[in-house]
Chain A
Amino acid sequence: MTIATEQTRRYGEIGERRAGTYQEYQGYNRRFSDRPQHREEGAERRARGLGWFSIGLGLAQIGAPRALARLIGIDDDEEARNTMFALGLREISSGIGILSQPRSAGWVWTRVGGDVMDLALLGKAMGAQENDRNRVAVATAAVAGVTVLDFITGQQLSKSGNGTTRFEGGRVIQPGRSTTGIHVTEAITIKRPRSEVYGFWHNFENLPRFMAHLESVEVLDDKRSRWKAKAPAGASVEWEAEIVEDRPNELIAWRSLPDSSIPNLGTVRFREAPGNRGTEVLVALRYDPPGGKLGALIAKLFGEEPEQQVKGDLRRFKQVMEIGEIVHSDASIHRGTHSAQPPENLNDVELLGMTGSPQGVRS
């Protein structure tokens, strides 16, 4: 059996098993399904507007390149006309793309690309003497305005899901459609044997050593554990979780028990990295920040970018496994931004994962 088929087989197997947990998840979290819809509608309406704007502009660029070039103050020469024609085609294709896609994030992003291209050309015209600088400046400002609009629309549309349709757990997932909650997948490669990496993670009480928001995990029995996470202003949230699947050196899947303050479930997979590079660790998790007062707290707790947090946790996991501790810089020991200057006092900062005194030997 080749490595490829071996891997395909393994993926498939894990995928099937995960489909079950995913479905369950869908069931008990459907209640949040209407919340994010509002903002999307506005974005969608704007996207359609941009679609028509694109087609209109595109037609003008193809049909009357000369007039348009003059209008925006660019020299009317062969090169300008050809450029306008190309731009026109691009506008029309992205306009049609936006209008014909039910959820058009991908196409709106081609508009952003296109805008940047326009800006680039206008910037070039600005450098050349012959053009009417004022008119070019006005046109640049206009295009820049559209770029901002495109950018906001593109971001909102793709935020409401990951923008991409994924094949996952043996089924197609269309983010922003039927699912709510937050779904994160991240991966990292760690230069340690699989058994060691799995073993360290499997002892859940180790997790707070590298997961920035976890305060503690208490193992209650061979399935259940109690999790405590930090919340702003010294508060904390707690929930209980159970292991739903555990395959030594391969996979751990868990989910929170019903009525948790943060319904969540996840899997972590461990697989051999090719070329003796250690272990690939793949985390997929889904959690649902509940509404209400706690909701705001939780949202803050998990920050705005869950992917980044999970990746950060994985990176620290790698540091703990490879070098035995978490690497700090003068800025990273502070919450939020801080200049790269040594701390006034070590008691004021939080050295995640530090065991024992950091004090060195002085001369």
Chain B
Amino acid sequence: MKANCWMGKKKVQIQEVPDPKILNSQDAIVRITSTAICGSDLHLYNGFIPTMERGDILGHEFMGEVVEVGRNVKNLKIGDRVVVPFPISCGVCAACEAGMFSLCENSNPNAWIAEKLLGHSPAGVYGYSHMLGGFAGGQAEFARVPFADVGPLKVPEDLTDEQVLFLSDIFPTGYMGAEMCDIQPGDVVAVWGAGPVGLFAVASAYLLGAERVIAIDRFKYRLQLAKDRAGASDVVNYEELNVQDALLELTGGRGPDKCIDAVGMEAHGHGVTYAYDRAKQALMLESDRPIALREAILACRNGGVVSVIGVYGGFIDKFPMGAILNRSLTIRAGQCHVHRYMRPLLERIQKGEIDPSFVITHRLPLDQAPKGFDMFLNKEDGCEKVVLSAN
């Protein structure tokens, strides 16, 4: 089959690779119809996530049709149309039972690598480094899906791929980002990053009752999308305004009640701190650049919540712990526990409360994945989200 493979820093390539095979009795093989490129893939592309190998098949946002099932698969049958959540979860361990699916204790065969870097290991993830399992990803014609009875969600025929594909990751992720904020009536929420994840965080904050939502980014077209399509009440372009001043002004000097970091480890910035973080990252003294995160912590009102869904991989520096302690801030974070949001969010889509396809700006055949990566990385041609059609 054809698959989009990681070939080194800033290099992905379509390759001919063996078809996936059933390796466990609860596996299914899915013939992929649609798959997407995620901001998380950019961290791999730019070489910021350790333990990648040349030839790794990328992709963790995919859907398609079941074409083969292992002998212990009970809920799925050949021909079912499914969306696959990006964390791989066994469904029976203590973490899965508690609904913390991205912390599944059984799905990462390489847990020992993750333990070295993170202390304990999270769940395995498709196409996301060997530290997270060494699972082949879904930017391909077929994919092997372990624990097929636990993850994949059957989707009704009357919804298009584009309407349901993002149940695999970014819609639940944005939603969880908002949910972790514990939004109360009257809350003003600020979202750093108007990428696809940020847009879903904006939209979800409204679904969960926010009064106003402020989006922060530097790309005008992205801020426009945040306003026009996700419904942001205000936008702040950090290249034109000082973010702290703008937020104080927008919130009567209090600061946003809840802050969401939808930027992650490769935040962009200005001046000395940006140079500082880039230099430290280059010297391998800090793996992540927490510019947006620091800003969110400092901006948040006393007693507020900072919800982190942007991905961090390792270590950060100059972390404003003083602000967190002295101002009673709550920090919450996580890789999305996608499984627990898929069904309720599918219902919202069916009810017409939201149509997630609004983030899509580019549709390409799988063959052109390398071009998609490039465009998405460089924010060319108004690129917000690239969907690849596979079959």
Contact = CB atoms under 8 A, between A and B. Distances in A.
Interface of A: 116, 119-120, 123-124, 126-128, 140, 189, 191, 277-278, 308, 311-312, 315, 318-319, 322-333, 337-344, 346, 351, 356, 358-363
Contact of A341 (B23, B56, B133, B279): B56
Given A331-B56, A339-B56, A356-B71, 12 more contacts: A120-B280, A127-B276, A191-B94, A315-B111, A319-B106, A325-B25, A330-B144, A333-B23, A340-B134, A340-B136, A340-B137, A342-B144
Given A342-B144, A362-B67, A328 B90 contact: no
Interface of B: 3, 5, 17-29, 53-57, 67-73, 78-79, 90, 92-94, 97, 105-107, 109-112, 115, 124, 127, 130, 133-137, 144, 146, 272, 275-276, 278-280, 283, 285-286, 317
Contact of A338 (B25, B28, B53): B53
25 contacts: A119-B285, A123-B283, A124-B279, A127-B275, A191-B94, A278-B94, A315-B111, A322-B106, A323-B93, A324-B25, A327-B107, A328-B24, A329-B23, A329-B134, A331-B110, A337-B53, A340-B134, A341-B3, A342-B17, A356-B25, A356-B71, A358-B70, A360-B28, A360-B68, A362-B78
B136 A361 contact: no
Contact of A340 (B69, B73, B130, B276): B130
Contacts of B146: 327
A315 B115 CA distance: 12
A331 B156 CA distance: 34
Contacts, number: 162
B56 A362 contact: no
B93 A322 contact: yes
B283 to A, nearest CB: 5
A97 B390 CA distance: 61
A360 B71 contact: yes
B106 A342 contact: no
Given A123-B280, A327-B109, A358 B135 contact: no
A363 B136 contact: no
Contacts of A311: 112, 115
A323 B92 contact: yes
A339 B24 CA distance: 19
A360 B70 contact: yes
A362 B136 CA distance: 20
Contacts of A340: 53, 55-57, 127, 130, 134-137
A311 B115 CA distance: 11
A189 to B, nearest CB: 8
